[in-house]
Amino acid sequence: MSAADDTDRLRARLHEIEIDLAALRAQRGAPTGEPQDFGDAGEDLAAREEQATMIANLEAARDRLRARLGEA
């Protein structure tokens, strides 16, 4: 595999990560502020925490790819 092929592959992966990040951020809505029972509130909190973790992991992968590509 040539260096150009590797760079193209990394750029394609970076683009996929950017798309995934945009989709996750779009799904993340603001809390409704409406009363919930403990079960619903717990599920909502767990989902938000899971989504925040996924976003953080994708951002870290994006940063590593940018560093490999020499981007800021």
pLDDT tens digits, one per residue of 38-71 = 888 888 888 889 999 999 999 999 999 999 999 7
Asked if residue 56 is part of any domain, the answer here is: yes
Contacts 24+ apart (CB under 8 A), 21-24: 21/55, 21/58, 21/59, 21/62, 24/51, 24/54, 24/55, 24/58
pLDDT > 90: percent of the chain: 58
Asked if residue 67 is part of any domain, the answer here is: yes
Asked if residue 60 is part of any domain, the answer here is: yes
Asked if residue 52 is part of any domain, the answer here is: yes
Indicate the pTM of the whole model: 0.80
User: How many domains in the chain?
Assistant: 1
